[in-house]
Structure formats: C-alpha cells, structure tokens
Amino acid sequence: MPHILAIDQGTTSSRGIIFDADMRIAATAQEEFSQHYPASGWVEHDPSDLWSTTAATARAAIEKAGLSAEDIAAIGITNQRETTLVWDRETGQPIHNAIVWQDRRTSDLCRALREAGHEAMVTERTGLLLDPYFSGTKLKWLLDNVEGARERARKGELIFGTVDTYLIWKLTGGKTHATDATNAARTLLYDIRKGRWSRTICDLLDIPVEMLPEVRDCAADFGVTRPDLFGREIPILGVAGDQQAATIGQACFQPGMLKSTYGTGCFAVLNTGDTLVTSQNRLLGTIAYQFDGKPTYALEGSIFIAGAVVQWLRDGLKIIREAKETQPLAETADTGQNVILVPAFTGLGAPYWNAECRGAIYGLTRNSGPAEFAKAALESVGYQTRDLLEAMRSDWDGAADGVLRVDGGMSASDWAMQFLSDIIGAPVDRPEVLETTALGAAWLAGMRAGLYPSQSEFARSWALENRFEPAMDQATRDEKYAAWKRAVAATLTV
C-alpha cells in the first residue's frame, strides 16, 4: 500500500513522519538541533542543521516503517514560518545563518518604519504588522549587513526563502524555487488580497523582487526529489506553514472554526472564510490555506512563548529534567499563592506586539518554589490564549464562544488543558491525532496524489480524544484573569 512522508521542520527539531493509506502514523523519526544566540534577542539556526536533520529523519522514518522509496507516493512539507534564509542561486551556499522567527534584531527598523507612517499600507496589503517576527525586515537586515549581499542580490546571484522554500530547493537539487501561499503570507512581502508579491513593500525595504520564490497552492506540484536522496524520485505535492498545516489537520474548514497549537509558541487560528478581517486588536490577517488559486482567510494570534516556557524550566532554571514532570509538579503547588509569570522572553506577541519588554514574575513569597513556578508557567499559556480569543471576538462577529480545538506537545497535559478550558470559559477539544501539523501536510500531499479523501470527507474523519469542560466559577475566572492583565500592564511599563 502507498504511504505519505510528512516532513515537519520545526524550531527545535526536524521530524519525518510516515502516514499509511488510512492516514495513520506508521513511523516517526526526530532529531533536535542547536539554537544559536549571537546577541541578546537574536536567534539563529545553522542552515546545514536544518537540511541534515530533515534528510536524516526522512530516511530514518522510511526505514523504521519497513518501507522503501517505492512505497512513498508523495511528500508533504510543513515548517517553522518566517525564519529567513538567503543562499547562492548556483552553489546553494547560504550567505549567513538562518534568522529565526523569534529573532528581534530588526526592532529598531520596524519602529522607524512605523514612525514614518508605513504600517497602515503594509497591513492593508499583507494583513501583518511591522514587527521583527516577519521575514521581510530579516531579509533586509541580511542584505544590509552581509558584505556584498545587496550587490549580489541585484545581479540575481542570491535567492530568498523561508524554510519550506530552502528544503524544496535542497530536495529537488536546486530545480524548484517555490513556496506556498501560507508561507508567502508570513513574509511581510506578499499582497494577500491580490495574490502576488508587493513591489511597493519590496521597494520600501530595498529587496529585489527577483530574489523571491514562485508562490503556489498548498496542494500543488513542487517538483521531485533528487533520486540519490531516497533511491528514486518522489513528488513533493503539499506545503503549508506549520500553523496553517495544523488548521488543515484539525479540519477547521468552516468559517468560525478555531484551533490553537501549543508548540514552542502558541498560535490560534480562526477561519474567516472569504472575509479578510482587518483587526482592531493587532491580530493578524492571513491565509489559512489556498486551493485552486482561491485563498481562505484567517485571523491569527501569535504567542511567542508557550512550550518554550517549559524548556526554560528545564534548561534555564533546571527545576525539571523532562517536560512531562511539569504537570505533577504544578499539582503540588500551594493553592494559597497566586504566582504569575509573564513569559516575555523575546517580547510579547498578540495582541500587545511589544518587542522590547522582557519576562517578569509577580506574586512571589518566601515559600514560592519549583511547584509554584511550574504552575505559573502552565497557567501563562492559558492566560495568553484567552488574550487572543478576547481579541478575536472583538474583531469578528463570527468568532462566537465556541469550541477550541487544540494540538501540539503541551496539549497532551490534562492539567494545562483543564486550566485553559477554565480560564476561557469554553470547551477545549483534543483530537485523537495530536500530530495535526504533520497530518495536515500529509493530507495535502495525499489528497493531491489521489490517495487521501476530499476536504469534506477528511473533515468527517476528525475524531475526539477528550473534551475539557470549564469547571471554574465565573468569579474566580474573572479574578485570576484580572490579575494576569495587571501583571501584563506592569511588564509593558518596565
């Protein structure tokens, strides 16, 4: 029976996941790679790490499933978004490390562009804000700061890509320089209304349009792999940025459906159908997915630190050895303390968009210890999610108080999901398949290959594993959220 290989290239690791003909996981391989922090607020990846771990885990997953390349009908790719690479068109040699989506080095540039009055134009075209999060100002930084880069770019020697584009280029041996609409929509350079690169914004940032990849649908022909990689050519037929792939994997195909993914960051995506909502609360308008040249739009709220706060407990404070220790530790916390952690380690994302503020902890007592820190870390994700949902309800009438579908590593924590349901006052649904990001990429490729069902049939196959219902009384919910809002306000003023 044919299988699909999903490549899930994330912020801290790369994974290869094999799905069988019934969209069940047959094998998974994962490999972490190093994070580089050359200066405060700067985050980079070595492009060779992105490629080597992707290739290795793809091969390992095929081997673990007991398959060969002959058994793989197609490849789907999902990726960390906004992370920016520039490489030589002929040799494939990157000119610098990849600048990661978390990186804040272009804060001053973004502030200058805002003060010059450009944000309204950028938001109208892209749905995004002038923030270091997005690829456009990262690309400008590379052209401005790597010796000779701008001149080489103007000569056509250099090309740009987000991680999906770089992997496609490497997989196809340099034959395909392309991206999909969801990744293009996160670059700050793509007009999501007109469906093309914005020359106006490229001119503003002094970026040659010729550097940019061709934009295709999420389910499309992205070329075939080099035969030496896996033993034969395999078509690449599906691509979506990680949060859009999770939206697809959660089958959020109807306007008003909402999912939230808890990985390194937290990303809530609300399907708004044909309507591109202009947020009044500094949420992002974006593309949820695109089929047959027709985009479906979404409102997105992005939180920079979700699962990363658990990594901080492990690697920074060293109060846990493994992420799974966080829940039992939190369960032992002193209920009389109300320690609040605002995890603004790289600034705050939606709806605040403050790149300058940094993390803070409030409510410490002499008895505060590891258990209270663990509880505050998990609760911070629930509070931040409520911030996003409040903003979405304010922006769009279609965002009713409905069910929130969740996925990602942290969604496996019953404690965290129960608190999430309590603090938002709505049901939280966890699906049987938590690997929704990889599933979304696999379904795109499998559907394009004729192996997997249509969109409507796929939506009907979504299955619930557990529903968390709110158990907190309204007075407690309001009191706790008000304390969170005070803590955020204090953090923003430091």
Rg (C-alpha) for the chain, rounded Å, is 22
**Rounded-to-integer distance, Cα 124 and Cα 114, Å:** 14
Using alpha carbons, select from 153, 160, 169 the residue that is nearest to residue 188.
160
Beta strand pairing status for 214-216 and 178-180? parallel
Tokens of 454: 């249509």
Query: E strands, 120-195, where?
Result: 158-161, 178-180, 190-191
pLDDT, residue 356, reads 81
* pLDDT in single tens digits along all 494 residues of the chain: 899 999 999 988 999 999 999 999 999 999 999 999 999 889 999 999 999 999 999 999 999 999 999 999 999 999 999 999 999 999 999 999 999 998 989 999 999 999 999 999 999 999 999 989 899 999 999 999 999 999 999 999 999 999 999 999 999 999 999 999 999 999 999 999 999 999 999 999 999 999 999 999 999 999 999 999 999 999 999 999 999 999 999 999 999 899 998 888 888 999 999 999 988 888 999 999 999 999 999 999 888 888 888 888 898 889 888 888 888 998 999 989 899 999 998 888 888 888 788 999 999 999 999 999 999 999 999 999 999 998 898 898 766 667 899 998 888 889 999 999 999 999 999 999 888 999 999 999 999 999 999 999 999 999 999 999 999 999 999 999 999 999 999 999 87
Among positive and negative, which fits the CA dihedral 182, 187, 189, 193? positive
**Rounded-to-integer distance, Cα 437 and Cα 242, Å:** 6
pLDDT, residue 322, reads 85
pLDDT, residue 48, reads 97
418 phi and psi angles, rounded to 5 deg: -65, -40
Among positive and negative, which fits the CA dihedral 386, 387, 392, 395? positive
pTM here is: 0.88
pLDDT, residue 399, reads 65
pLDDT, residue 211, reads 96
Query: E strands, 292-445, where?
Result: 294-303, 340-342, 360-362, 404-407, 428-431
Beta strand pairing status for 428-431 and 404-407? parallel
pLDDT, residue 400, reads 60
Dihedral angle computed from the Cα positions of residues 96, 101, 106 and 107, in that order, rounded to the nearest 10 degrees? -160
**Rounded-to-integer distance, Cα 22 and Cα 348, Å:** 40
